[in-house]
Structure 1
Amino acid sequence: MERKSVWNDRDYFERRPPLEGDRTTDVLVIGAGAAGLLTALRLTQSGREVTLVDAGRTCGGATNNTTAKITAQHGLIYTRLKKQFGARAARAYAALNSRAIGEYESLVQSRGIDCGFERLANFVYSLDDERILREETLAAAEAGLDVHFVRETGLPFETVGAVKTENQAQFHPLRFFSAVARDLTIFENTRVTDFREGEACTPGGRIRARQIVFAGHYPFLNRPGYYFMRQHQERSHVLVLEGAQLPDGMFIDEKGGGLSLRRAGRYVLLGGANHRTGEPGGGYEWLAEQAQKYFPNCNIIDKFSNQDCMPIDGLPYIGRYSSRWERVYVATGFQKWGMTTAMAAADILAALIENRPCPEAELFTPARGPSRGVGNLLRDGGKFVKGIAVEHFGGASHTVEDLAPGQARRVKLDGRRLGVYRSETGELFAVETRCPHLGCSLEWNPDERSWDCPCHGSRFDYRGRRLDGPAEQGAAKKDHL
C-alpha cells in the first residue's frame, strides 16, 4: 500500500504495468526504491540489461517517507566506528558516503534534474553533553570530513553545541528519483512469490537472471542469510510545519529519540520520536508539543512516518546475500540514513557484480560475524521469545463490548485471540494477533491504526492488509463477529 508524505503533492512517477509473461535479463533488482533504482542505473550505464520489480509502486515505501538528508555525518557515528572497527574503517565509511553526496550532485547537474538539490551544513547537536560532541568532532575530522565543533546553532532551543559538517546536502527525493526511473525497465505491482538462485517467480511470470539484487528495504527470505535475526526495525515520525522559521542547515539530536529538523521549501520538517516498531509510540503527540513550544505561530499541515532497519552492529549489510549464493546480493540495514546509503550501496553492488575492486565492500559485507553486536543480538532474541510467549500465553481479558470508537484491544472470542478495532462509526474489524512471519504477537499502534510486530517489524492495517515486511502476506482476519 502506497503511503503519502509531504513529497506527494503530485504524482511524479508514470505508472508501470505488472509483469505478464516470462522474462530473461542480465540483472534482476527486487525493490524499486532508492537503492534499487540507483543500483539499476549504475548497471545500465555499464551496458547491462536490468529489470526492476516492485510489489507496489516505484518509490512507494521508505523512499516516499524520508526526510531526504544526504549526509556523511550519521549521528555520532565516527566515534563508534573507530572504537568498534578501527580508524581505517571510519575513513572508509566517510569516503564512501562523501563520494555518494558528490554522485547525487553529478546526476542532478548532468541530467538537469529540478529537485531542489542544495549543499548545506549538517549539525548534530546535544542538549547536555559537550564532551561527546568534541570527541565526535575529532573522530570525524580524523576520518576525513570537513567538520568542527560550534557552540551556536541558531535553533529555537538551548544546546551545548553541535558537530557541524560542511558541504552536505538535501533535496526533493521523488522529483530526483522520478527522473532516475524514467529510462529504466520497471514492473510495478509485481511481487516475488518464490525464489531460487537465477530465477524469481511472480504471479505474472518467471524472471531468469544472471545476477539478482534484493533491494526492497527488508529481505523477505528468512533462509539463508537470517536477516531477521540480525536487525530490528524502528519507526520515526515527522510533522510538516508551515510558518516556522529555521536557520540554514540540517539538524539532528545526538540522542536517538530527539528532534530532527530541515527546511523543505516553505515548510519545516520536524521529525523524531523514534521507537522500536511494535512498542508504545505517541510520536505525533510529542512532536506536536515540541512544535507548539518552539514554533508557536506555526501550523501543522501534514504528518508522516517511516520505518528503518537497524542492524545489530550499526553497519548496513551490503554485498552477497549469503555464502551459499554466489550471484545473489542484498542491500539492507540502512538505519536512518537511507539516501546516502542507497547511493553507497549502488556503488558497492555494481562493483561486485562487475567484478571491479571496491575497497569499502569488506566493511559492509553481510558475511561479517555478529561479534560486535552480541548485546543487541541477545536483546533482539529476547524480544522474539517475549513476542512468542505473549501470543501463546498472554491474556485477552477485554470483550468487544468494552471497545469505544477509535479504540482497539486484544480480545478472546470463540477460543481465538483476536485484535479488534472499532472505527469511529462503530464498525468492527478483527485480525488474528499472530504475525504471519514467525508467529510473534502483534501490538496495536494507535498513532497509525495498525497492528505492529515488535519482533521483526512487520505491520498490518486494521483490516489485516500488509503494510511493511518481512511478512509476505496479510494478517488473518475474521469477517463476522
Structure 2
Amino acid sequence: MIIGGGLVGILCAYFLDQAGIDYLLCEAATIASGTTGKTTAVLSAQHDTLYSDLISRWGHEKAQQYLDANLDALKEYRSLAEKIDCDYEERPSYMYTVDKPRLMEHEVEALQSLGFSASVVKELPLPIKIAAAVKFPGQAQFHPLKFIGGICNNLNIREHSRIVRMKGTDAFTEKYRISAKRIIVASHFPILNTHGFYYAKLYQKRSYIIALENAPQYDGTFVDNGTSGMYFRNYGNLLLVGGGEHRTGKKGGNFEALRTFIRANYPGAKEKYAWATQDCMSLDGVPYIGKYSELLPDVYVATGFNEWGMTSSMVAAKILCDMIMKRENKYADVFNPSRSVLTPQLFANLGESILNLLKPVPKRCPHLGCALSWNEVEQTWDCPCHGSRFTKDGKLINDPATGDLREK
C-alpha cells in the first residue's frame, strides 16, 4: 500500500505496476494537489552546496552515492519523457552566491573530485551582481502534472481517501481499515508519530513563486545559495521568480519580497500567476528514504526532500520499490532514515516545539498540540513546530495533522 499521491507515491505505484506487484495508492485529496502541483519542477542533481558538506561529513563514497543516485534519476526522467509529452527541456542549472565566492569554488572542487564536470562562473544574466556560481551542465526542467498524466493511467489509485492513523501494516480512513503486507508512507510529512522521531527530524518551509509575462528568457535554472535568496526559471513565455521563504508558522519575505524585487528589476513585466509551496527539510540536507524505523520492518518512508523533490522523488521510488521486491539498491545506505540525528537543526526543532507547546494560546494543532500562528498573508493558521496548516475556518490544508481543527 502507498499513502500519498504526490510524485513519489505515483512513481512508486508506476514501478510496482510495471513489475506486476499488487498495490493500492490512497490520496487524501486528489493526486498531485500538494507540493507536487506547486513545484517549479527543476530536475537537477545540484542540491545547494551539499557535495562539499557530504565529503567532509561522510566521505567521498557516500557523496558519490548521493550524486550518482540523482544523476540516475535524471536519466530515468529523460527516458520516460521520450514517451510522454511533459515539456521536458534540458537546461544547465546554477547555484550562485552574492558574497561567498570561496564557497562556490570549494563546491566545484568537491564535485570534480567526484568526477562531475561542474565549473565556476563569475557572471549570470540575472539582474543580480553575483560573487560566483556553480554551473551544472546537462540538467533539465519539465511539467510534472503532464508527466504524471502520462504515467498514471490505469494505476490503482483511490483519491479522497485520507489515512488518519496506522497500526503496524493496517491503515485506517475515517470509515475503512486497509490491511497490507507492506506500506510506503509518501505523505509529504510522515503521519505516524510513535516511530522514527520524524516530528523532531523534520521541519517545513514555505516559499513563494510569481509567474511573469513580458520578462526575460534565461538559458538555465538559477538558485541563490542564501537562506532568503531568489530562484528563477522560464516556462514557455513566462519567467518564474521564487523566494521570500521562511519556516512555516514564522514571518518571512512572502510575496511582498518578490514583488519588491520585480518592481525594481522587471518594471515592464506583468504578474500572471502567484502561488506558495511547502517543503519538508531534513536535519542534514539529505532525504529520509527507507525503513520507517527499525521496529517497523514492513513500513517504508520517503520525506525530507529539502526543496529538491523532483529528483529525490525518483530516487525514493527506485529505492523503495527495490526494497519492496527484496532487491539490493546501491544507493539506499546514504538515505537511511535511521542515521545519526545529532545536528544543530535537531536542537532548533526541539526548541521550537517546546516553545510552542508551552505558549498559552487557544488555537492548537491537533497533530501534537503546538500553538498555531495566524498567517496574515495567506489567511491561514500555521504550526511553527511541524508545519500543519489550516484555513481560517479550521479545515486542514497541510499535514502532518490528519484532521481539521477541533472546536473547544
Taking structure 2 as the reference length, the TM-score comes to 0.97
Aligned partner of 2:402 in structure 1 is 472
- Is the contact between residue 281 and residue 447 of structure 1 (CA under 8 Å) also seen in structure 2? no
* CA deviation profile, 1:141-161 (whole Å, cap 9, x unmatched): 222322111112211221122
Aligned partner of 1:227 in structure 2 is 198
* CA deviation profile, 1:165-208 (whole Å, cap 9, x unmatched): 00001001101111111121100000113322232222353322
Q: Secondary structure at the match of 2:302?
A: strand
Aligned length: 408
Deviation at 1:307, TM superposition (A): 0.7
2:179 maps to 1:208: yes
Residue of 288, 291, 306 corresponding to 1:317: 288
Within-5 A mapping of 1:300-315? 300-315=271-286
Matches of 1:196 and 1:145 in 2, distance apart? 44
Deviation at 1:261, TM superposition (A): 0.2
2:184 maps to 1:184: no
Structure 2's unaligned 5+ residue stretches are none
- Is the contact between residue 155 and residue 246 of structure 1 (CA under 8 Å) also seen in structure 2? no
Residue of 319, 323, 329 corresponding to 1:358: 329
Aligned partner of 2:372 in structure 1 is 442
Q: Which has the larger radius of gyration?
A: 1
- Is the contact between residue 319 and residue 331 of structure 2 (CA under 8 Å) also seen in structure 1? yes
Residue of 352, 359, 368 corresponding to 1:383: 352
Tell me whether 150-159 or 263-272 shows the greater mean CA deviation: 150-159
Aligned partner of 1:18 in structure 2 is none
Aligned partner of 1:135 in structure 2 is 106
Aligned partner of 1:37 in structure 2 is 10
Matches of 2:41 and 2:116 in 1, distance apart? 20
Q: Secondary structure at the match of 2:356?
A: helix
What RMSD over aligned residues (CA atoms) do the two structures have, in Å? 1.3
Aligned partner of 1:458 in structure 2 is 388
- Is the contact between residue 91 and residue 142 of structure 1 (CA under 8 Å) also seen in structure 2? no
- Is the contact between residue 282 and residue 447 of structure 1 (CA under 8 Å) also seen in structure 2? no
Matches of 1:40 and 1:197 in 2, distance apart? 21
* CA deviation profile, 1:377-408 (whole Å, cap 9, x unmatched): 11111111111222x2xxxxxxxxxxxxxxxx
Aligned partner of 1:99 in structure 2 is 72
Within-5 A mapping of 1:8-87? 28-87=1-60
Residue of 234, 243, 250 corresponding to 1:279: 250
Matches of 1:235 and 1:151 in 2, distance apart? 30
Taking structure 1 as the reference length, the TM-score comes to 0.83
Matches of 1:150 and 1:227 in 2, distance apart? 38
Q: Secondary structure at the match of 2:24?
A: strand
Structure 1's unaligned 5+ residue stretches are 1-27, 393-416, 418-431
Aligned partner of 1:410 in structure 2 is none
Aligned partner of 2:81 in structure 1 is 108
- Is the contact between residue 189 and residue 280 of structure 2 (CA under 8 Å) also seen in structure 1? yes
Q: Secondary structure at the match of 2:180?
A: strand
Aligned partner of 2:318 in structure 1 is 347
AA aligned opposite 1:194: R
